[in-house]
Structure 1
Amino acid sequence: MTDSHCHLDFPEFAPELDAVVERARAAGVARMITISTRVARNGDIVALAERFPDVFFTVGTHPLQAAEEPDVSVERLVALSAHPKCVGIGEAGLDYHYDAAPRDLADRVFRTHIAAARETGLPLVIHSRDADADMAATLRDEMGRGRFSAVLHCFTASAELATTGLELGLSISFSGVVTFKNSGDLRDVARGVPLDRMLVETDAPFLAPAPHRGKRNEPAFVAHTARVLAELKGLDVDAFAAATSANVDRLFSKLPPRAGQGAPEISRP
């Protein structure tokens, strides 16, 4: 299994990071992608990925930090992405829930990351919260300027945005939110996402899945989310884990081959 989105550099993990990684391995998590929120902290993420062989990383500015890094450049992102363990750009996007940055600035920073993804060929990790219409419009506009690969991470948005993302060739990643009792609409969206476009993540340390809801999340807990999603897709959890890890391999193509790579062909509801 692969945790396609976590934040192992966050201070919540500092006191026991080795134990967190070991628990993930014991739970069957073969790889973790720790996602950047600030380009300024790239050195910390690089050091973390170099410390653990099964941890990889991205480079980018989260929309909540867009005002802190308004002048991040395509050239800077491209240069930092050359590290052999950097496998993606972002997370970047639009967040109208907190509106931490002026919307025009957030849009500009987001489009800079799209340009970097396009130039490098690395996938863009997209954050979108309460911004469905503008996100859909931006993605359509930018895809018309030149194709790029991307994932809508921690998807909690509308079925309409999911449809737009799928039509544009994007992948969709689900977090522990899909396990919550009040997330029936989100589970309906997940049922409709083709298996070969689906990823699973923790977004740790946030959004721990049931039965750990309310606690600090960690990569080992991705197994709980995977079980719920596997049931939605009518698969056993091993087949679901194999399929979604193969999806990660396709999207994050800079990742090195997994040991014993070669997931079996299965039907894709």
Structure 2
Amino acid sequence: MDDLKVYTLMVLMLRANTVAVSPSETMKAVATIINIILILTGLHHRLTFRPLGLLRDLGVQMKVKLQVALDLIDLNQALIIGREALEGGADIVEAGTPLIKKFGMEAVKALRSAFPDVTIVADMKTMDAGALEAEMALIAGADIVTVMALAPEETIIEALDKARELGGKVMVDLMNVTDVRNVALRMKELRADYLCLHVGIDVQKRRGVSPEQLCREISEVSSILPNRVAVAGGIKAETAPKYAKAGASIIIVGGAITRSSNPREATKRIKEAIRRALR
């Protein structure tokens, strides 16, 4: 068997077996499969291609993205902080729920106008009228809208259908969900684009959730939906790397950036901490 055939076989096998649950585990899975095939075919001593180039062919998303949550009630301040966060390395800008409640879809439009090439999330936290609320946000310029996992399933389906129709995506927020695994499995069946493990502000204040507990949930959910799990809730430079290593592909940070005296530098610190953890 020549090198080209082996290379093609590797690509097909890896595309058919998306079992890895985190960026680091993806790398291990890739390395393991490559090594087995090369040894079996006797080609491990005379490679004419670089195995890790497979990742580019597979389109595997290894980068953990940083989302800044603009949970503010001052639109001008949100635009300023959003820009500084992007300059610091943020990948996604979120129109937070308070911002949307105060300014409506004008907040989403303003973010889209200010950042035309950036992924915009509208944190609608939809509980009813799934199609209507998804349409409002997506037409205003959002790329991703959120709907609550505790909403009726019909609402989630309506939001998903409308988002597909308009070329957008839906992030299902698992806040207050107790049966995380089974809900995640059902969301996978419904073809949800993303799941978000979210510790709400009031829960953070009253009782908190340990990073270790959240890491376990991230690992479990990312085994169901690899590369499509977000995590939010009181995340700082100290905890973001743990969640990235556990399998989160989107790290959502609010106050650690928006309440910082230097949002640009705060974003840089968090981004660099994530980068170091995944080396």
Sort the TM-score into its range (normalised by shorter chain). Answer: 0.3 to 0.5
> Counting helix residues as a fraction of each chain, which structure ranks higher?
2
Larger C-alpha radius of gyration, 1 or 2? Answer: 2
